[in-house]
């Protein structure tokens, strides 16, 4: 499969697919180089890209995905420590949600103080005042 079709079917851009290759996220991605220099991708690469997309949608970073995929492909019992990894990821997401809620609350306080007729105070609209930062 050529990269254009792979991009279309996976939903990733050609550049993203090439980036994932450079990162080592795609195992055995190039089955052969054609005479014109194009790469003919193995059918399993699409499945790998779908897995990457699913893991990204769960909040995993590319480095976390790479580590997870390497573990699955090399360890005899790849899921042995998966519950602990998932607990850690859930805790990280909980922390992010708390931080986002804090940002939202502060922003709501600024919005409540803003009537659209603010003067500037030290480089910021005065309605930011004590609500900000």
* Structural domains of the chain, count: 2
Is 69 in contact with 30 (CB distance < 8 Å)? no
CA-to-CA separations, 123 to 119, 127, 128, in angstroms, rounded: 10, 12, 10
Q: Which residues of the chain have pLDDT under 70?
A: 28-31, 121, 130-133
Q: Are residues 65 and 1 in the same domain?
A: yes
Q: What is the pLDDT of residue 120?
A: 77
Q: What is the pLDDT of residue 130?
A: 61
Q: Are residues 58 and 114 in the same domain?
A: no
Chosen domain end from 80, 95, 112: 80
Q: Are residues 105 and 67 in the same domain?
A: no
Say how many C-beta atoms besides its own lie within 10 A of residue 45's C-beta. 23
CATH code at 69? 1.10.1660.10
Q: Are residues 66 and 102 in the same domain?
A: no
Question: Which residues are registered as beta bridge partners of 121?
Answer: 124
Q: How do residues 64-78 score in pLDDT, each as one tens digit?
A: 999 998 888 888 888
Chosen domain end from 60, 80, 100: 80
| Domain region containing 95 | 81-133
* Measured distance CA(133)–CA(123) in Å, rounded: 14
Q: Are residues 98 and 123 in the same domain?
A: yes
Is 23 in contact with 17 (CB distance < 8 Å)? no
Chosen domain end from 80, 102, 119: 80
Continuous H helices in the chain: 3-10, 14-23, 44-57, 62-74, 82-113
Q: What is the pLDDT of residue 62?
A: 96
């Amino acid at each position: 499969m050529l990269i254009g079709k792979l991009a279309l079917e996976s939903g990733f851009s050609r550049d993203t697919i090439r980036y994932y290759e450079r990162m080592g996220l795609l195992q055995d991605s190039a089955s052969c180089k054609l005479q014109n220099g194009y790469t003919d991708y193995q059918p399993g690469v699409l499945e790998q890209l779908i897995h990457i997309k699913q893991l990204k949608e769960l909040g995993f970073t590319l480095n976390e995905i790479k580590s997870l995929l390497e573990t699955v492909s090399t360890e005899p019992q790849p899921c042995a420590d998966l519950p602990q990894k998932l607990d850690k990821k859930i805790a990280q997401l909980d922390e992010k949600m708390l931080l986002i809620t804090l940002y939202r609350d502060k922003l709501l306080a600024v919005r409540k103080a803003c009537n659209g007729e603010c003067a500037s105070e030290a480089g910021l609209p005065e309605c930011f005042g004590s609500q900000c930062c």
